[in-house]
Amino acid sequence: MHRYTWRTFSRELSLLVIAAVWWIPFYFLVTIALKPDLEALASPLSFPQSVELGNFGTAWSQGSLGRALVNSIVLTGGTVVILVALGSLCAYTIARRAGAMSTALYLLFVLGIILPFQLGLVPTYAALRELGLVGTYAGLILFYAGIWMPFSVFLYTGFARALPREYEEAAQVDGASQLRIFRKVVFPLLRPVTGTVAIFTGLIIWNDFFLALIFLSGTDNTPLPVAVYSFVAEFASRWNLVFAAVIVALLPVLAFFVVAQRHLIRGFTGGIKT
Amino acid sequence: MVSTIGSEASAAVTVKRRRARRGLPRVPWVWVLPAVVLVILLRYVATAAGGWYAFTDWDGISREARFIGLDNFREILEDPVSRGALENTILLAVTFVAAANVIGLALALALNRTLKTRLLLRALFFAPVVMSSLAVSYIWQFIFSYTGPLNRFLDAVGLDSWQRAWTGDPTWALWTIFVVLVWQFAGLAMVMYLSGLAGIPDELDEAAAVDGASAFRRFWKITLPLLAPAITVSVTLSLIYGLGVFDQVLALTGGGPVDASETLATQIYKQTFAFGRFGYGAALSLVLTVLITAMALAQLSILRYRERRL
C-alpha cells in the first residue's frame, strides 16, 4: 500500500523545503554570532566573510554565563532530585495501600495537576521572603518542586500500581528492610517513570524564565534565561554579541537533544511509535 | 530465662514468617509525608491565600491587608491596560491554539508514513520546542527589527510599502508574538498527532480506500474522529500554555508599544513586582487561573463528548 512513488518523493521534497524555511532563524543566529562588530552591522544577512570567535568570550564573561550555567544545573538538578525521590516514595505508598486514605491522597495530587500555579505565586513569594529564601536556590527549588510534585506522584502511582509484588515479597523473605526493598527493588523497576519525570520537568525548569526572574533577579544565582535577559538589556542591538549569548544558552539543551532525541521526544509525549 | 528469650525470639520469627507468607508488611504512611506537606502548603494553602489577597489592597510590605471587595476586579475591567491585557491574552491563546494545531496536524499527516527522512524532519520541527522561549524570541526580534531580514525581504519583492518596525507597531506587535509562538510549538502538536496517528490501524484507511472513499473523505470520516483523544490533549495543553505566555512578550515587545501587547502574565509581573501592588497582582492571577481552569475544563468536556458520540 505504501510504496515510494514520485508523489511521495515530491511530498518529501516539499517538506524538506518547509523545514529549511523553519530553520532560517537558526541561520541568522549562527552566522551573525560569528561576525565582527562592523560586518554584523553593515551586512548582517550575508555569509560571514571573517569569523570572530571573540563574541563568545565577550558574552561568556560580560554575561557571567559560566556562573549562570552552574545556577541552571543546580536549580534543575535539585528540583528533579526532589521530584524523583519524594514523588516515587509517596506514590509507592499510595499504590501499595488501599482504602479511603489512599484514594484521598491520590485525589489531592490529581487535583493539584489541574490547579494552575499562578494564584499561589504572590503568597508564596511573600512567605519565602519572610523566611529569607527569596534570591536563594532553596526558595525557587521549593516552589518548582511544589508545582511539579502532583505530576510526578501521578505518573509514579499509575506505574507502581501495575508492578507485580513478587519481587518485593522475595526480598522480604530474604530479610531486607522496607526502605531497602524500596531502594534496591522497587525504585529500579520505576525507572521508565523516573526518565519521563526527569526529562519533562527538567526541560521546563531549565527553560523557565518567569519564576526565575521573579525569585532570583538581581542576585548572582540567576539561571541562563535570566542571565541572557540581563545581557540583552545591556548590549541591545549588538546582535553578534546577543546571538553569541543566545547560542551559549541554547547549546546544553541542543546537545542533549542531538544525543537523546528519541528519549526526549518520548519523555515529552509518552510512547511514540517511530 | 534463657529459654524464655529463645521462645520469644522463635515466636517473633514465626510471626515474621507468617506475615511474609500472608504478603508484605504495610508501607508506612510516613513515606507520603514530605510530598504531601509540600503540595498542601505550596499548592493548596498558597492558592487559597492568593484567593484572599485578590480581594485586598495589600502592598506587599505592611502587616495588614485591607479587604476591598471587588474593587480590584472592577479596576481590571475598567483600566485600559489590564483590560487590554485580558483581551490580548484570550486573542493570542485562541489564535495560537488554532494555528499551531492546524499546522502541527498537517505536518504530522504529511510525514506520517513512507518518507525516507521522516525522523530527520520530525527532529527539525520538534527542536524549537525544547529550547528556551526567551532565547529564541531574541532571534525573532532581530528578524522583525526595522533593518532586519523581514523588511529586507519585503523590499526585495517590491512590497517596500509594507515595511515597518514590526515589534514597535501597535497593531502588529501582538502578532509578532503569535508568529514566534506558532513557530516554536507547532512541532509539539505535530509530535502529539504523530503518536495519535500511530495508534490508528492502516487497515481502516485501506478498507475505505478499497470501497472508493476519496482521500479527503477518508481523512474527515476516519482519521480525524480517531484522532479525537490526541486533539483533546494537544489543544488543552497549548491553550494552557498560550494563556500564560510571558517570555516571548518580554523578549519581543516588553508589552509595548504603549502597553499594546501586554498579557495577563506580564501584567501580574509588573503590577506585583515592579509596582508593589500585591493585592492587585493576586486579582490578576485569579482571573488568569479562572480562565485557564475554565477553558481547560470546557475544552475537555466538549472534546470528550465528541469522543463518546463516535
Residue pLDDT, tens place only, B262-292: 999 999 999 999 999 999 999 999 999 999 9
Looking at beta carbons, which residues of chain B come within 8 Å of A249?
A: 132, 135
For the residues B30-42, what does the mean pLDDT come to? Answer: 94
d(CA A80, CA A72): 12
Rounded to the nearest angstrom, the minimum Cα separation between A99 and chain B is: 12
Query: What is the identity of the amino acid at A47?
Result: F
Rounded to the nearest angstrom, the minimum Cα separation between B65 and chain A is: 12
C-alpha distances (whole Å) from B262 to each of A117, B50, B230, B257 are 20, 22, 31, 9
Cis check for the bond before A150: say yes or no (omega within 30 of 0).
no
Q: How many helices (H) and strands (E) does chain B have?
A: 16, 0
Rounded to the nearest angstrom, the minimum Cα separation between A179 and chain B is: 9
For the residues B17-22, what does the mean pLDDT come to? Answer: 49
Burial class of residue A75, CB neighbours in 10 A (0-12, 13-18, 19+): buried
d(CA B169, CA B256): 9
B246 touches chain A (CB under 8 A): yes
C-alpha distances (whole Å) from B274 to each of A129, B60, B251 are 16, 11, 17
pLDDT averaged over chain B? 88
For the residues B3-21, what does the mean pLDDT come to? Answer: 49
A168 touches chain B (CB under 8 A): yes
Tell me, letter by letter, the H, E, C secondary structure of B30-71.
HHHHHHHHHHHHHHHHHHHHHHHHCCECCCCCCCCCCECCCH
d(CA B26, CA A95): 11
A201-205, B91-95, B159-163, B251-255: range with lowest mean pLDDT: B159-163
Which of A168, A242, A250 minimises the CB distance to B131? A250
pLDDT category at B309 given cuts 50, 70, 90 is: low
Contact B209, B218 (CB under 8 A): yes
**pLDDT tens digits, B93-134:** 999 999 999 999 999 999 877 788 888 999 999 999 999 999
Q: What is the pLDDT of residue B1?
A: 38
| B6, pLDDT greater than 80 | no
What are the CB-based long-range contacts (under 8 Å, 24+) for A39-48?
Answer: A40/A238, A40/A239, A40/A240, A44/A239, A44/B142, A44/B147, A44/B148, A44/B149, A45/B149, A45/B152
d(CA B240, CA A261): 25
Q: What residues 71-130 of chain B have any CB closer than 8 A to a CB of chain A?
A: 107, 110-111, 113-117, 119, 121-130
Record: contact B27-A22, CB cut-off 8 A:
no
| B199, pLDDT greater than 90 | no
| B19, pLDDT greater than 80 | no
Contact A216, A223 (CB under 8 A): yes
A150 touches chain B (CB under 8 A): yes
Q: What is the pLDDT of residue B10?
A: 53
Q: What residues 242-271 of chain A have any CB closer than 8 A to a CB of chain B?
A: 242-243, 246, 249-250, 253-254, 256-257, 261, 264-265, 268-271
d(CA A37, CA A39): 6
| B196, pLDDT greater than 80 | yes
Residues of chain A with pLDDT below 50 are: 271-274
C-alpha distances (whole Å) from A136 to each of A66, A142, A221, A222, B33 are 18, 10, 7, 9, 24
Interface test with B, best of A119, A121, A130 (most B CBs within 10 A): A119
**pLDDT tens digits, B60-99:** 888 888 899 899 999 999 999 999 999 999 999 999 999 9
Q: What is the pLDDT of residue B42?
A: 94
Contact A220, A240 (CB under 8 A): no
* Chain B residue with minimum CA distance to A152: B35
CA B24 centroid distance within chain: 41
C-alpha distances (whole Å) from B218 to each of A127, B215, B268 are 57, 5, 46
- Written as one string, the DSSP assignment of A195-263 is HHHHHHHHHHHHH--HHHHHHHTTSTT--HHHHHHHHHHHHTT-HHHHHHHHHHHHHHHHHHHHHSHHH
For the residues B237-260, what does the mean pLDDT come to? Answer: 92
B258 touches chain A (CB under 8 A): no
Please tell me whether residue A146 adopts helix, strand or coil conformation: helix
**pLDDT tens digits, B174-195:** 999 999 999 999 999 999 999 8
C-alpha torsion sign, points B241, B235, A265, B130? negative
Q: What is the pLDDT of residue A72?
A: 97
d(CA A53, CA A247): 12
Contact A137, A205 (CB under 8 A): no
- Residues B182, B187, B190: CA angle, nearest 5 degrees: 115
Which of A93, A239, A273 minimises the CB distance to B29? A93
DSSP element (H, E) containing A267: helix A261-269
Contact A134, A128 (CB under 8 A): yes
Q: What is the pLDDT of residue A170?
A: 87
Q: What is the pLDDT of residue B294?
A: 87
Q: How many helices (H) and strands (E) does chain A have?
A: 16, 0
| B21, pLDDT greater than 60 | no
Looking at beta carbons, which residues of chain A come within 8 Å of B131?
A: 207, 250, 253-254
Angle, in degrees to the nearest 10, between helices A100-114 and A137-161: 130
d(CA B52, CA B32): 29
Query: What is the identity of the amino acid at A167?
Result: Y
d(CA B108, CA A63): 39
Q: How far apart are the first and last CA of chain A?
A: 18
